[in-house]
Amino acid sequence: MDYGCTFSPRQLIQLGLDPIKSLQTICAWPIRYVRVGCYWDETQPSPGKYNLEEIKSYLKIIKQSGKKVVLVVGMKSPRWPEFYIPEWAKSFDENTLQTQTLNFIKKVVNELKENTVISHWQIENEPFDESGPENRKINDSFIEQEISLVRSLDDLTKQPRPCMITIWGNDTISRKTLSKNAQNSSADIIGLDVYYKQYSFSIMGKDFYRGPKFTNDQIKNLISKIDRPLWIAELQAEPWEENEQLYQADNPQSMSVSKLRKNLNKVSKLDPEVILFWGVEYWLWRKQQGDTQYISFIENLS
């Protein structure tokens, strides 16, 4: 089993940390993959104008460390607000928006495909799941267009790199995203996002949390029918609290190093090929506060 993590420059900046120094630290850990989002609003700030220099700088650091990159392309990328549509494209009708998204993907893949540090393309992020301020999702047929486009452009050594789609794992059975959307998808890899303790609501000062609505046997059964590799694209490794103040509390209810170990043990029983930790920015922030437990956890991961 291989390990990796998601790298979010935006979250690092939000926590007062330097993205470059943080990435260099991450690349020293005993992991194989770093998942990087190519945020549309940053990469194409205006029509016809692209800026891929920041992404290239991250890829260079990761390549020098010997790690591999899972690059997320599309209109959705990791972290809130989920959809990263540029301001100039937000008023477009659905057909025009899709055309512009394909143009964006084409530019990114053509520009970066020769970089061998990229081992996988992730097509959108949780595309089948309604999310973001407008609670919207991406239809299956368009995702297939995106996958086909990436494969047609990625002619490196005439063997296109695998394409992964990800699913919000906690409710995948009730939403049928694994049994229906993923099963009908042409993606090479299915990624599940799993959060074991997610803030839900409060009543009379008491906080209530929820976790996955599935058993390991249920997920294994569904994956066996899809007959494709399973990754844990996001394993909760940071707090999920009501607000930032509780997120940064000394002892948040939803996360601790002991909870992280339990999360890893639970999800490992699904026999995924790869587990990507979600929230390592929090680990680096905790280190800045004098708590090195999370860093010790990853540095000693075997």
Residue 279's contacts (CB-CB under 8 Å, 6 or more residues apart) are 6, 236, 237, 238, 239, 255
Q: What is the pLDDT of residue 58?
A: 98
Angle at which helix 280-288 crosses helix 19-26, to 10 degrees, equals 110
| Pick from 147, 141, 145: nearest CA to 165 | 147
Q: What is the pLDDT of residue 302?
A: 73
Instruction: Phi first, then psi: give them for residue 116, nearest 5 degrees.
Output: -75, -5
Q: What is the pLDDT of residue 159?
A: 75
The one-character DSSP state at 177 is I
- Torsion sign (Cα): 117, 120, 121, 127: negative
**How far are the Cα atoms of 239, 253, 297 from residue 258, in angstroms, in the given order?**
13, 12, 10
Peptide linkage before 81 cis (omega within 30 of 0):
yes
Residue 35 burial (CB < 10 Å; 0-12/13-18/19+)?
buried
Q: For 136, how many CA atoms within 13 A lie in the half-sphere containing its CB?
A: 12
Core vs surface per residue 48-60: b (16+ CB within 10 A) or e: eeeebeebeebbe
Query: Residues for the chain: how many in total?
Result: 302
Helix (H, G, I), strand (E, B) or coil at 20: helix
pLDDT < 70 positions in the chain: 156-158
Domains and CATH numbers, the chain: 2-299 (3.20.20.80)
Q: What is the pLDDT of residue 155?
A: 77
Any bridge partners for residue 68, and if so which? 33
